[in-house]
Amino acid sequence: MKTLKCAVIGAGYLGKFHVQKYAALPGCELIAVVDTDAAVAHSAAAHTGASVYTDYRDILGKVDAVSVVVPTSYHHQVAKDFLQTGAHVLVEKPITVTLAEADELIAIAKDKNMVLQVGHLERFNPAVLGLEKDEKPLFIESHRLSPFNPRANDVSVVLDLMIHDIDIIMALVNSELERIDASGTAVLTQGTDIANARLLFKSGCVANVTASRISMKSERKMRMFRPSSYVSVDFQNRVLTKHTTGTKEMFPGIPEILTEESVFESGDALMEEIKHFVDCINTGAKPLVSGEAGRRALATAIRITEMLGEK
């Protein structure tokens, strides 16, 4: 396998971590860090040996793979330009602003035989990777709560936080949506800061999803009821708890409840995500979070935001 020439487009808060991972990853040569702010690019690229650019168009056709970590409104154009010039693309979530933009990226990637992966980082959380996915859920409840952070307020809480759980739920249920009910409100920003959505799938599964960026605490949990088990996932603390019925009786006629808890070591989800991206490039495998998966999550998130009266 040849060494991949890699670049990171956008070297802000999240982009600088992408820079660090590529610089440390065997099989990758970080050759460029791009940001419209030269000082930000230089700071992120320090000690990596990568060249610094302020215009990503200067490296089109010169790299094998890129992470696109720019504001969402630029995802489509930047990812499109790299795909068309023969570079594999890992684009941060949400994949694009509109479904038409997502469809175009998916079509270009297919036509050019390029890997298009979407950065839904929570899929690489050790607790999620350890979740048995064979048994389909009947009911899901998720809470993703965080204190206010001014960094990501260019989008609503649905596209900022809730979309993580939407992506995981859509992958677990693997059924078409039949109905959505949603409510939410703005508190500190012009967009929705706290929201709840009830997703009814054609399979009969119901998911109740809550996201808030104005909470006093951080919490990232998902609970799901399945035909033979109740499972709880604590994303934040990387704990997976499974409850099942045993052969003994807790009360006459009532089976005992057995609990199995798995605590996973602190992992590096971003490194695992980028490793997976590189592996897909080298093997031709389909990414865990493909362009189609990113589009599916975006489609649901857009429907919810429209119900909340946002554009």
* Per-residue pLDDT tens digits for 265-285: 888 999 999 999 999 999 999
CB atoms < 10 A from the CB of 261, how many?
11
CA 65, 67, 70: angle at the middle one, nearest 5?
140
Q: How far apart are CA 206 and CA 209, in angstroms?
A: 10
pLDDT at 248: 86
Q: What is the mean pLDDT of the chain?
A: 94
SS3 at position 37: coil
Contact 124, 269 (CB under 8 A): yes
Structure tokens at 158: 């649905």
| Segment 163-192, tens digit of pLDDT | 999 999 999 999 999 999 999 998 988 888
- Asked whether 233 and 168 are in contact (CB, 8 A), the reply is no
pLDDT tens, residue by residue, 230-254: 999 999 999 999 998 888 888 888 8
Domains of the chain: 4-114 (3.40.50.720), 123-267+300-307 (3.30.360.10)
Given a contact cutoff of 8 angstroms between Cβ atoms, the answer to whether 89 and 64 are in contact is no
pLDDT attached to residue 191: 83
* Distance of alpha carbon 165 from alpha carbon 297, whole angstroms: 9
pLDDT in tens, 62-112: 999 999 999 999 999 999 999 999 999 999 999 999 999 999 999 999 999
Percent of the chain surpassing pLDDT 90: 83
Q: Give the global pTM.
A: 0.92
